[in-house]
Amino acid sequence: MKLSPLFARNLLVVCVVSLLAVGVVETFSASGARCEYSLQDGTIRLRQHVTHLSMGLAALFVMMIVPQESLRRLRTPITVAALLLLLLVLIPGVGTQQNTESRRWFSIFGMSFQPSEFAKLALLIFLASWAAGPGDRLKQFHPGFTVPAAVVLISVFLVLVEVDKGTAVFILILGAGVLVVAGARLRFFVPVGVGVLLLGLLALGVAALFAPGRVNRELCQTRDRVEIVLNNLRPEDERKDLGGKNWQLDQSMIALTEGGWTGTGPGKGKQQLFFLPESDSDFIFAIIGQELGFLGASLVVLLFALFVLCGFSIALAAADRFSALLTIGLTGWIGLQAFINIGVVTGSLFQTGIALPFITRGGTAMIVCLAAVGVIVGVANRTVSRRCTRPPVKERKAKTLRRKKPVVARDFALKS
């Protein structure tokens, strides 16, 4: 199903605004009681969310008016800046930790900035620009395929060092998907994949020698996450007691089932009352299911599906290859991220810490996702303006037919 660029742009904006509205309402509902109890201020999370939302809307309007040619020319500085930020955040005293052992954030004027979110946008700009270069670059293994693959793998490695496995895997899938769509040969992935696997095993062995405790802890966490998902997929009478390991997923499933068809109503859910951890961030979809019911949760899923449909329709009508590939990458990024988050909340996928776009409370993720929407809307605006300035096909043909016969020397000879 292909939509016109104008209709796709307008529908995409409606979907984004609707999801942002759901996010504002549910963020306040999911965090109000908890913040009132612990911070004596029930609106602090809401104010933070609205602040980040306002910054994201500003980024949207800025990226909407930035020409795609400028992004293409600036691909190298943007990519280098993203990789430097991923490197700098690992330095103690520069990068900060927030309730975890992971060092993933910068603290700037009391606000946190997560460079791995910016790296997603920078990586897509680089991959789209590289694939849209002269000739069929990606049909050649070196340097056509190896250069973008190296940029993807360096980004993945730096995010892994931050101990952010979910985002690292997400970037790897996103980068590989864009390369496949851009025309890379599938056989090129085999030697690269084998090399990465061998290097990964070597790095794991070295880490086990120098930090055996941390490696064992990470492996145990990964095993527990796999066990939780597999246990949730079993029939209810065959599920095992995991000793509290599956508490978060159990509370998420309780929230989804108690919502019924129409839900309890905004602000009337119970699982955010100290039962469901991360109820106002990564697991906010469970609160949506409880308060808005199956119908409300299905509407959110439908809005994301329409967003993806509109984004791909805009990409198919884009004026050039770079804009088309960039729009496909940005749309796939947001759609895949929503799919993973909802899959985690419903117990179908392993816990990754990936946010629900436009809804989850989070500063960098919100700003960067809205900036990505600005790029997509900018591509649609350019396509629409080009179609409006070009005359219709029938008019162009009529002008061609009415064109005067060229005057040649033979005509003057006949007249004389």
Concatenate the DSSP letters of all residues of 248-281 into one string: HHHHHHHHHHHTTTT-S-TT--STTTTTSTTTTT
Interatomic CA distance for residues 343 and 224, integer angstroms: 17
DSSP count for the chain of H helices, then E strands = 15, 3
Q: Exposed, middle or buried: residue 320 (CB in 10 Å: 0-12, 13-18, 19+)?
A: middle
* Residue range 356-379, pLDDT digits in tens: 999 988 788 899 999 999 999 999
Q: Token pair of 198, please?
A: 């061998």
CA–CA–CA angle 410, 411, 415 (5° rounding): 115
Q: What one-letter code names the amino acid at 157?
A: F
pLDDT along the chain (416 residues), means of 10: 85 95 89 77 84 93 91 92 90 72 71 86 94 82 88 90 83 92 88 84 76 76 77 71 74 85 83 77 87 92 95 91 93 94 86 86 88 94 80 55 50 45
Interior/surface letters 84-121, b for 16+ CB within 10 angstroms, e for the rest: ebbeebeeeeebeeeeeebbbbbeeeeeebbbbbbbbb
The terminus-to-terminus CA distance of the chain in angstroms comes to 64
Q: How many whole angstroms separate alpha carbon 54 and alpha carbon 134?
A: 39
Q: How does DSSP assign 83-96, residue by residue?
A: HHHHHHTTSBTTBE
What is the pLDDT at residue 123?
Answer: 94
Backbone torsions φ then ψ of 367, nearest 5 degrees: -65, -45
Could you tell me which of 17, 117, 28, 173 has the C-alpha nearest to residue 354?
Answer: 117
pTM over 0.85: yes
Single-letter code of the amino acid located at 13? V
What pLDDT, in 10s, does the model give residues 177-211?
Answer: 999 998 888 888 888 888 888 887 887 777 777 77
Q: Is 234 helix (H, G, I), strand (E, B) or coil?
A: coil
Give the tokens for residue 40. Answer: 């004596």
The residues pairing with 107 across neighbouring beta strands, listed in sequence order, are 112
Cβ-Cβ contacts under 8 Å for 416 (sequence gap 6 or more): none
